[in-house]
Amino acid sequence: MESGETIFYQIMQNVPRYEFNRCVQRYGGNYRVKRFPCWTQFLCMVFAQLTGREGLRDIETGLNAHHEKLYRAGFRGKVARSTLADANEQRDFRIYQDLGLVLIDIAQKLYKDEDLGLELAQSVYALDSTTIDLCLSLFPWATFRETKAAVKAHTLLDLRGSIPVFIDITTGKVHDVNILDTLPIPAGSILAMDRGYLDYRRLYNLHRKQVFFVTREKRNLKFYRRYSREVDKDTGLRCDQTVVPVASKARRDYPEPLRRISYVDQKTGKKYVYLTNIFYLPAKTIADIYKLRWQIELFFKWIKQHLRIKSFYGTSANAVKTQIWICVCAFLLVAITKKRMKLDCSHYTFLQILEVAMFEKKPIIQLVKDALKHELPPPISKQLNLFSY
């Protein structure tokens, strides 16, 4: 059945054009532009992300192979690699950053009732960063080490639906813990993060903002134990204590008691020690919350394996940030389309289906239904059945 609209056009219908135009106008994206507006640039880059294009020439060839369908899909002007390269270098990346924030808000509302696997009413977030290695001679602005360049994407992930709600792109030299100074997280939320974010002053700032956190203890830290609670060791718990730091500077930076929980994973035998300011939840629930943090590692792995974020189409800071934010927008469009159409498949499977059918004229629901058929027709055989009457 032909829908009259291509798969690519149906996906891009999830972008609120009014909000996109406001983002473009805010930063003058189309100022003195006649033939290659920001919307066409955005379409080219999303196409590159969803189909895994290797470079600018690959994008140009892939789109021009469907030149008769481009105008109907929203493309305006000739698609040329030089024009696209200039747009990525010159047009403010904040256009696509602000658009990403709009799509994040849409996705969060769609996934707000997603099951976490835990009986928790409040939102649960995971914070981490991923480092993207670059060539120092091509990206001299991305300072990291003496012989190496890199950028970091510091990400706050809403664990209901694995939606990235905050991304800060910095050079590789910026330490992860600095992001806690500007982290926009609502009061009453729970934040899971690894031991790299253990900084008492910054954790106390979160505590004063009524943000709950769960992190891991560093090995060289020492505490005074004020109180111990009984634990069920059959669940993997080893201790549940109320503690205060021994070091005077640590006590000054975090003047209130913390909860210290020791837990052994019964599958791997690995021991974990958690620090948290949550005193009202059972100790096993705290351990389970930290386990959910693994979703952000899976998110980074998914993004790096299935979208174009490890190699770049431009070398300037603006071009790199433009590509990363459009990569995030592409991920969000996949998530929004999948949720709105109630498709019963993973993000990865959905992206695989889209990649090979981007310019087919078929409803997305029908495309996915056809691709996920598992029942094969019975083989035709001339062998007689001895037990048929």
Q: How far apart are the first and last CA of the chain?
A: 40
Within-domain flag for 64 = yes
The residue among 358 and 141 whose pLDDT is bigger is: 141
Residue 272 confidence (pLDDT) above 80: yes
- What's the full length of the chain, in residues? 389
Within-domain flag for 52 = yes
pLDDT of res. 122: 85
How many CB atoms are closer than 10 A to CB 117? 9
Report the number of distinct structural domains present in the chain. 1
Within-domain flag for 90 = yes
pLDDT of res. 388: 44
- Tokens matching residue 181: 């100074």
pLDDT level of residue 3 (50, 70, 90 thresholds):
low
Digit-coded pLDDT (tens) for 224-269: 899 899 988 888 899 999 999 998 998 999 999 999 999 998 888 8
Section 169-188 average pLDDT:
91
Q: Taking all residues of the chain, what is their mean pLDDT, rounded to a whole number?
A: 87
Give the least confident one: 28-32, 96-100, 301-305. Answer: 301-305
pLDDT of res. 282: 92
pLDDT of res. 154: 93
Residue 378 confidence (pLDDT) above 80: no
Give the least confident one: 105-109, 339-343, 382-386. Answer: 382-386
Section 195-224 average pLDDT:
91
Within-domain flag for 58 = yes
Within-domain flag for 388 = no
CA distance to 256, 382, 384, 385, per residue, from 389 (Å)? 83, 16, 11, 9
User: 299 φ, ψ to 5°?
Assistant: -65, -45
Q: Got the DSSP string for 361-382?
A: BS-HHHHHHHHT--PPPPPP--
Find out whether 280 and 220 touch, Cβ atoms under 8 Å: no
pLDDT level of residue 77 (50, 70, 90 thresholds):
confident
Residue 156 confidence (pLDDT) above 90: yes
Within-domain flag for 85 = yes
Section 150-166 average pLDDT:
90
Within-domain flag for 56 = yes
Within-domain flag for 233 = no
Nearest-angstrom CA–CA distance, 214 and 285: 11
Section 138-151 average pLDDT:
89
Domain range holding 18? Answer: 7-95+315-369
